[in-house]
Structure 1
């Protein structure tokens, strides 16, 4: 299971409803603690406090949310859950099955969430046909980040296909640059694997493999090809990658030591924090072969049942604020992600975000919008963990057999179902 932040925010938007004389407290359990993430969550806190409510921040750093989920489980079991917690994907369904989540249908109807959100996002935010969580943003996972100055020095061309990617990597390596900045952590290894899978399998077979858990696709020739490509890609990663954090890898591309990084758009927040400009200081490209597809990772706040009426009101105001255009604008410019609202004005966003929103809308309409496996959107945390183990073991074994790895992948997934 994953976790996110407990937020109980009361925000009364005067444009939507009269300002309430009663204020509540919102406690938010989350793991937004890096530079760009911290600025983003500070935005939400300010909007909540500006409405007269009290924000009780409960940030739990580390582990991609595992530590925070442990805290949340303890609080929930003791009957003292936060108003809101950072929970996403299938984990929302697991909490819903426990009967602990509050319904947000009233807020959703008033703000017309059914019209503002793509069906693929609505499915994630609902349990039993009721909204129980509010989406904060949309991250695109299948991005390739490049340093154009490094590419120019190496005589390399930004790649649009996997063959072009390896050709560019060869030129970067020959010119003395690190071709691919990578952090050797299981979730980062699996992010690379996922992007390769999305490109080589295509969105339909990607879904069959990682949402439907179809054994035929998991063990098929295309999946063997994915593992073979992953093995080849490892040859362009430096020997010191083990344990490196993702933002340290981003810094290597930023400071000109490396030419490329495969990472979701949260990497952009690091470039922005350093004052770098999209399109000139750095470029964002759909990972080669995944044009037309969009692997999504959605941060969301699941709302827990509360006994206090003022705090419940604050909780609903929090949900309204999260879905409001002001918050969606400011938060996502800080976080590197894009707004979840399909009607959001993107004129104030950078070129990468504008491209991301256009691709998000197109993919939602053509079947290319698919949930990220590596980031907890496609399958349970048990399946995700099984994939992490197989992928990381394979990635770090230069003698590993791609055919064997595909069989191991299917077996590991079956073992945890």
Structure 2
């Protein structure tokens, strides 16, 4: 296969500028829930205002596994979309295969190296060149809570996992589900990494970024698995296979007290007309107030033929980083802008808290990539961790010590 044609982009822009024809851009993504759909429609509208045609290719599935399967089949067939929702180390994998196109001309025009934090811009580059555009920064280690449920149960909102295990039985006794959860591998991993993060960002990074075998086999990791298994007592019987946004609706509707989920959950509260600090509250996941697990959504650009299609693709990349889209998308999505120095006045208290935590953790070492959401490790290692974590959660007979051994072995085998 061809490597990235870095001269192609500049040529495409100059040719397209001369012809000024509108093009079509096909976008593969998995933004399909209420808040997410509203967010991506903003970008579609901006592209149509530029005169381009937006071909939506939405593949449902909160973790993106189904979308990635479709993308691989399209790419193998020699017909990838113009743009696809890809993130983290997966961007590097597609770059290695030679599928991605160069966005340096757009990035230079938009001062991306200036307006993006380095932790964000680094992820968007392959071999030192921009190949993807970030739409946002998600904080993954959030806990969403319904204060009315806590009031009815007569307990406070926990700030540590020890407190969680104290209040959860009382919430359950009051007739509510303590923890809204969907039994899907990526959701299990989201909960698991939040519990691991409570051991501190150094432990988390050693385990899920450095893949250090000693850390993976440590007593702390046994404790993480043990706490994780205890969560099974506090989810409802119907959790298996439930989509994340359905679990969020349990908190919105007052059926459940809490959910551990990234800030895309806030988009569901917003879509339901709920107000932060009134109808729901957001706290860092127990024990993680000094840390920030990040998940950056981005659209990577694939090589396409034809000046019109290339112009549409470059315009898409440009629009993603412009303040109008960054603000509107993130207000709908629940995340915070990838672009620095955006006005904050339209964002709610949860977003302000996330923005503050992002900046603070970036200077203290508490800013770490989410393993569960494809930012820390490649897809092979992530899949191996997923398998161990979700199998343990659903196997009453497996001990925490056995899970730790399986984890260390699985990670080593997939490296």
Contact 2:158–2:167 (CA under 8 A) maintained in structure 1:
yes
Q: Could you tell me which residue of structure 1 aligns to residue 156 of structure 2?
A: 157
How is 1:282-321 mapped onto 2 (pairs within 5 angstroms)? 282-321=280-319
Cα distance in structure 2, aligned partners of 1:404 and 1:137: 38
For residues 152-195 of structure 1, the C-alpha deviation after alignment (integer angstroms, 9 at most, x for no partner) is: 11121122222222222133123222111111111111110010
Query: 1:106 maps to what in 2?
Result: 105
Taking the aligned partners of 1:255 and 1:19, their CA distance within structure 2 comes to 54
| Displacement after TM superposition at 1:305 (Å) | 1.7
Work out the CA distance in 2 between the residues paired with 1:81 and 1:258.
41
Q: Secondary structure at the match of 1:58?
A: strand
Q: Is the alpha carbon distance of 1:276 and 1:303 closer, same or farther for their aligned partners in structure 2, counting shifts above 3 Å? A: same
Deviations 1:123-169 (A, max 9, x none): 21111111111111111110011100111111211222222222221
Q: Distance in 2 between matches of 1:400 and 1:365?
A: 39
Q: Say if 2:400 is the partner of 1:402.
A: yes
1:372 aligns with 2:348: no
**Which residue number corresponds to residue 57 of structure 1?**
56
* Structure 2 Cα separation of the partners of residues 412 and 84 of structure 1: 32
Quote the Cα distance in structure 1 between the aligned partners of 2:62 and 2:274.
Answer: 28
Equivalent residue number for residue 358 of structure 1: 356
Question: Could you tell me whether the CA contact under 8 Å between 1:25 and 1:56 is conserved in 2?
Answer: yes
Between the aligned partners of 2:235 and 2:74, the Cα distance in structure 1 is 41
Q: Provide the C-alpha distance between the structure 2 equivalents of 1:340 and 1:274, rounded to a whole number of angstroms.
A: 25
2-structure distance, mates of 1:137, 1:157 = 32
- 1:215 aligned onto 2:217: no
Segments of structure 2 that go 5 or more residues without pairing to the other structure are 1-16
Query: Where do residues 253-292 of structure 1 align in structure 2 (5 Å cutoff)?
Result: 253-292=251-290
Q: State the alpha-carbon separation in 2 of the partners of residues 69 and 395 from structure 1.
A: 25
Residue matched to 2:31: 32
CA gap of 1:20–1:43, structure 2 versus 1, over 3 A, is farther
CA distance in 1, matches of 2:65, 2:396: 29
Could you tell me which residue of structure 2 aligns to residue 340 of structure 1? 338
Say if 1:342 and 1:361, in contact at 8 Å, map to a contact too. no
Pairing 1:170-209 to 2, within 5 Å after superposition: 170-200=169-199, 202-209=200-207
Deviation (angstroms), 1:291: 0.8
Report the alpha carbon displacement of residue 36 of structure 1 after superposing the two structures with TM. 1.3
Retained in 1: the 8 A contact 2:62–2:244? no
Q: Deviations over 1:204-242 (max 9, x none)?
A: 221121112110111111111101111222221222211
CA distance in 2, matches of 1:66, 1:227: 24
1:132 aligned onto 2:131: yes
Q: 1:70 to 1:233 in 2, by over 3 A?
A: closer
Which position in structure 2 is the counterpart of 1:387? Answer: 385
Partners of 1:309 and 1:150 in 2: how far apart? 56
**Structure 1 position 66 matched with structure 2 position 36:** no
**Greater shift after overlay, 109-118 or 35-44?**
109-118
Following the alignment from structure 2 to structure 1, what is the Cα–Cα distance between the partners of residues 367 and 87? 17
CA offset digits 1:90-134 (Å, max 9, x no partner): 110011001111111121122221222222212211111111111
The alignment covers a number of residue pairs equal to 399
2:198 alignment partner, SS class? helix
Q: Report the Cα offset of residue 19 of structure 1.
A: 11
Partners of 1:132 and 1:303 within 8 A in 2: yes
Please give the TM-score of this superposition, normalised by the length of structure 2. Answer: 0.92
How far did residue 63 of structure 1 move?
6.6
What secondary structure, in the 3-state scheme, does the structure 1 residue paired with 2:318 have?
helix
Aligned to 1:261, the other structure's residue is in SS state strand
SS at match of 1:64: coil
Following superposition, the deviation at residue 350 of structure 1 comes to 1.3
State the Cα deviation string for residues 274-328 of structure 1 (Å, max 9, x = none): 1100100000000011112111111111111223122222211111100011001
